[in-house]
Amino acid sequence: MHMRARFALLAFIAFAGARATSAQTVTDAAKTITPEDMHTRIGVLSDDSLKGRNTPSPGLTGAANYIAGQFKSFGLQPFGDNNGFLQLWPYRQAHLRGDVSIESRSAAGTNKLKYGDDFFLVHSDADSAVASAVFGGGAKDAATVGDAARGKVLFFFLPGQPNAEWQQTASATLMSSLHNGAKAIILVLDPAFPAQIIGMITQQTAEARVPPGAPPLIGMTYGKAKEIFAAGGQNLDALKDKSGTTALNGVTVAVKQPVESNEEKVPNVVGLIPGSDPKLKDEYIVFSGHMDHIGVGKPDERGDSINNGADDDASGSSVVMAVAQAFASLNVPPKRSLIFLTVSGEEKGLLGSDFFVNHPPIAISKIVADVNTDMIGRNNPDTVVAIGQDYSSLGPLVQAVAKAHPELHLKVAPDLWPEEGLFFRSDHFNFAKNNVPAIFFTTGLHADYHKPSDEVDKIDTDKAARIARLVFYLGNEIANAPSPPKWTAKGVEEVKKMTQ
């Protein structure tokens, strides 16, 4: 079907897919959340016509308009720009221009590396970085490096092959390094890392960049890194599996990455249900999920090149819509006000949610909680992970809510992957670092992560609906509680550690 016709169809679904309902009780409202609606909404957002919802793209704009249409059909109040549902923010696209190079300098001389053969690079905003070199240990130790990284080019050893887990670890290493002041992050690749993959990743990352303020992220062959370490008096073979920082004495690394950029406006979608209590309505709860994905890539073995992102994160965005519809169906809204937010730019470094917390429609101090959902449609049918349970009173509360609703058949597990640092890798983290207690629901990674095979037919829509009901019940408890959520001492300490 012609693209324009497909978007017209999506606009029709935006209004036809929602039902006008009026619920007498919270239980009745929860029943408006159905597997069928979850399948429909996830299917629309992950449809081929949206081309993977890259930031920026016409497909992302189509997704935003669809969600805005859903919010309008529920009766939500627009809470974006100019009395509309869209909040536009400036996305800066930067492209490499000219020669990209890395060289190490030491008493032994200058070692020049070849872009695309010896290393790949995800560039930052700066044209260059020059600093002394330090080894920080394994990639999963990145969060513990601290001040030893400040002003340095920081090496980590990243074992394994280029699969979903490898990609997640690489991303986590970068995010862990956002606040440690490193000039550049160099991932030393496994000795068995296929040489031809370096060139493929170089092509894929030529127009990719790290989040604003992050250092450039570089993947370097083990052999070239070993030469640099030797020039600094260190044996990489002996050092690669050790934790802690080690200086490469007398070694300076220079990274050259000339960039040019342009700017484009891209959307978040924001809707509001005002609270019913004269005083508490001035406090707000945010329900968030990201609507963007990674767009079109290399064709897979089926010839499919569209990364549909059904689980990542059409599923979480559909939870936001489902919960919004459930609350809108209540005859009397809860006491606190509710904001329903779908953001773009998550895949580019949590950019859309960062813009929202820095340009909120109300003072950020009035937001008392963020409940975030990202990838909730796969894996064990009766388990959902809630990241950050130890960090605030939201943890005990969600356990109490799950216990009070055995009909959901959901075990709320703690963080099953603490080594991945997931608490600071989805949009809730931008709220947490602005002192807003946050909790993050996910069902984890799978073999279809960031692949064209992440399709709606693989989503467990019954599970997705049950998770949406859990989020609805949790939100209702937060919205009507006498006091807002509070940080725990551990939460304050961890967030401070992550943001300093």
CB 360 within 8 A of CB 62: no
d(CA 99, CA 319): 45
Of 354, 404, 388, nearest to 485 by C-alpha is 388
Checking phi first, is residue 497 left (phi over 0); if not, alpha (psi -120 to 50) or beta? alpha
Phi and psi angles of residue 13, each rounded to the nearest 5 degrees, phi first: -60, -35
Region 167-186: mean pLDDT is 81
Residue 427 clears pLDDT 90, i.e. is over it:
yes
pLDDT computed for residue 15 by the predictor:
46
Mean pLDDT taken over the chain:
91
pLDDT band at 12 (very low <50, low <70, confident <90, very high): very low
pLDDT band at 3 (very low <50, low <70, confident <90, very high): very low
The percent of residues above 90 in pLDDT, for the chain, comes to 73
Mean pLDDT of 335-362: 96
Closest CA to 374 of 425, 415, 418, 435: 425
pLDDT band at 21 (very low <50, low <70, confident <90, very high): low
pLDDT the model gives residue 16: 45
Which position has the token pair 């890194």? 225
Q: Check: pTM over 0.75? Answer yes or no.
A: yes
Alpha-carbon dihedral angle through residues 358, 363, 365, 370, given to the nearest 10 degrees: -70
Cα angle 48-346-494, degrees, rounded to a multiple of 5: 145
List all residues 6 or more positions away from 279 whose beta carbon is below 8 Å from its beta carbon.
none
pLDDT digits (tens, 9 = 90+) for 199-221: 888 877 877 778 777 889 999 99
Residues 6+ apart with CB under 8 A from 142: 136, 156, 172, 173, 176, 177
Say yes or no to pLDDT of 393 above 70: yes
